[in-house]
Structure 1
Amino acid sequence: MKLATVKIKGEEIAVVISDDKMISIQTINEKANKNWSTDLFSILQNDELAELTHWYQEEGESSLAKFPYIPEHEATYAPLYRNPGKIWGVGMNYMEKALELSGKPPEEEPVIFMKPDTSLIGSGESILLPPQSSQVTTEAEFAIVIGKTCKNVKEEDALGVVAGFTTTLDTTAKDIHAKNPRYLQRSKSFDTFFSFGPHFITVDEFSDLKDLEVETVLNGEVHHRNVIANMMYQPEWIVSFFSHIMTLHPGDVIMTGTPGSVVIREGDVVACQIRGFKSLQNPAAIKN
């Protein structure tokens, strides 16, 4: 099942995407006599996704064709939600990227970092280039969305606590990080430096993640491309790794690393493209 959050008449609401049509959860509640939350974060927090997915698989997919839908011109995509409890990133998860950044193979355990929720934007919103930095880079990443509160999860059980996946763009003030590796967190934390969405696809839709190809695109040109099979730390391992450090909660987001970054300047449009997901695109603008 594919979901998104759209803004319509000033309100951000969850929709199911079916045959390229947007059907709001509110409409589904009315037509199917359900009482699900009408925003995606609450659906995750209230443990409603499994029931919604079951309904979709058993009868909903065919029923949605008869339900009123939101015309695309009346809605704009928003972030999937605004306030995830945790936004984590994994650095240098592809061998090529690790060699590019450090000149040597990666360590036995991954580099990790956090993003504040104030860095969060949705597709179409501007990445604001801060005056403190003269070199800003952005990179496409496949991201995991946690679906259950969990701790110390075994790798083989990891997908059981995952709600689904989405596309993300991770932006960095590269020159700030280059001054001192200890400045990594600062370089990642500026407002608008984390783009999130627009599509969320539930975990049951994927028989094998390894063949998914992640692309970093600048102004319509693919600059970096790689498949998840080439990640040094696979998504299941990543979930297990984080869960052994901290308790994970529904709605937590974990970016899994990038095939490569691009320098962005005012007027550029950067995108994350992964097959099956709507392209996540953001223009770059100067912060006033």
Structure 2
Amino acid sequence: MTLQGTVYGTLLNFRGEYEAWQPKMNEPPYKAPPKAPVLYVKTANTFSPNGANIPVPAHVAEVEIGATVGMVMKSAREVAGYVLLNDLCVPHASYFRPPVKFRCLDGFLGFGDRVRSRNEAGDPAVFTLKVSVNGELVQTVRFSELIRSADQLLADVGEFMTLGEGDVLMLGCAGDRPRAKVGDRIEIAMPALGSLVNTLVAESA
């Protein structure tokens, strides 16, 4: 698979993540919980295919693993299929408007090579991902914990923007994200979608 469209991440769509940040939602500058989905863009320089090494800058001690599934669009409201994603980011203090420098470093979006239709992959509400670092299970992501289901997320996003063919909309990442460092091999797996493997390496000087 090759990513050809725009990739949109979704914040605050897992119950645990939302509840962790809920106490701050009434603080400035927003002063209220978000009513619409909170999105961000993973720029094209972040794309890393399955099996690729991902460079980590020397000043970054650890990265957060963002195991998720992306909806690959066939048209504005039609999903062509689902793909595994690893939305890496540098640990930071806010989910509301995180700077690009934390999320859009070179190579910081691993993507799987298998896109499966709903008939093949099943209902996204029951997706379960297993995340391993160096062969050790570090996280289980259950999409039954989504606030907005895949269908509802797509409908709500469609209220304020139009997705195009090839665009990818992430379902979101669980709040308790495991971390990894240079030298670690990260694997995200789900039987219907295969596995996504990337290794973190030191960025070349």
Corresponding pairs, count:
195
Change (3 A) 1:181 1:134: farther
Q: Distance in 2 between matches of 1:179 and 1:236?
A: 27
Equivalent residue, structure 2, for 1:273: 189
1:146-193 Cα distance to aligned partner (Å, 9 max, x none): 011x2xxxxxxx5xx00000100001011xx33896443321101100
Equivalent residue, structure 1, for 2:87: 170
The higher radius of gyration belongs to 1
Give, as a single letter, the amino acid of the residue that structure 1 aligns with 2:84.
Answer: T
Q: Distance in 2 between matches of 1:179 and 1:231?
A: 20
Q: 1:96 aligned to 2:19? A: no
Give, as a single letter, the amino acid of the residue that structure 2 aligns with 1:238.
Answer: L
Give, as a single letter, the amino acid of the residue that structure 2 aligns with 1:111.
Answer: V
CA contact (8 A) 2:36 2:157 kept: no
When structure 1 is superposed on structure 2, of 132-141 and 229-238 the one drifting more is 132-141
1:90-120 Cα distance to aligned partner (Å, 9 max, x none): 12321223344x2648744333111111100
Question: Which structure carries more helix by proportion?
Answer: 1
Give, as a single letter, the amino acid of the residue that structure 2 aligns with 1:171.
Answer: L
Q: Distance in 2 between matches of 1:201 and 1:271?
A: 18
CA contact (8 A) 2:50 2:113 kept: yes
Q: Distance in 2 between matches of 1:195 and 1:245?
A: 27
- Out of 112, 122, 137, the residue aligned to residue 197 of structure 1 is 112
Change (3 A) 1:107 1:217: farther
Q: SS where residue 169 of structure 1 aligns? A: strand
Change (3 A) 1:212 1:178: same
Give, as a single letter, the amino acid of the residue that structure 1 aligns with 2:82.
Answer: F
Q: TM-score normalized by structure 2?
A: 0.85
- Out of 261, 264, 282, the residue aligned to residue 180 of structure 2 is 264
Q: Which runs of 5+ in 1 are unaligned?
A: 1-79, 151-157
Equivalent residue, structure 1, for 2:50: 123
Q: Distance in 2 between matches of 1:217 and 1:136?
A: 14
Cα root mean square deviation, aligned: 2.2
Q: Distance in 2 between matches of 1:81 and 1:263?
A: 26
Q: Distance in 2 between matches of 1:183 and 1:211?
A: 29
Q: Distance in 2 between matches of 1:165 and 1:180?
A: 24
Equivalent residue, structure 2, for 1:141: 68
Displaced runs of 4 or more, over 3 A: 103-110, 179-184
Q: TM-score normalized by structure 1?
A: 0.62
